[in-house]
Amino acid sequence: VAAAGIRLLSDALRDQGVQVVDALWEPPSEVVGASLAQVAADLRRLAANERAVQAMIEAKPAVVGVTTAAETLGLEPRQFL
């Protein structure tokens, strides 16, 4: 498997015995900077963050069970999510 950018995923594959080749790649900084500036300047972000925080505060979470993603989704052995 060739992996570019997300070390967490390539490490998880290695932990499962998969041979992984990491490509040292990052998005161009000018693209990332421009994208972050656009998001930071969007006035809807503040309202959206407030709404998200309020929803978390008002939530009434309850544990209904604990299982793996593979079991919940019915994944076959060696099937990758």
Cα separation, 72 vs 19, in Å, equals 27
Asked if the structure places residue 66 within a domain, the reply is no
Domain range for 27 is: 2-60
Asked if the structure places residue 79 within a domain, the reply is no
Asked if the structure places residue 76 within a domain, the reply is no
Two tokens at 70?
């593979």
pLDDT at 48: 95
Taking a C-beta distance cutoff of 8 angstroms, is the pair 55, 34 a contact? no
Asked if the structure places residue 74 within a domain, the reply is no
Question: How far from chain centre, in Å, is Cα 62?
Answer: 23
Asked if the structure places residue 28 within a domain, the reply is yes
pTM of the model: 0.38
Q: What is the pLDDT of residues 13-72, one digit of tens each?
A: 899 999 999 888 777 778 788 888 898 899 999 999 999 999 999 998 888 889 988 899
Asked if the structure places residue 16 within a domain, the reply is yes
pLDDT at 15: 93
Asked if the structure places residue 49 within a domain, the reply is yes
Task: State phi, psi for 28 to the nearest 5 degrees.
Answer: -55, 135
Specify which residues 22 forms β-bridges with: 3
Number of independent structural domains in the chain:
1
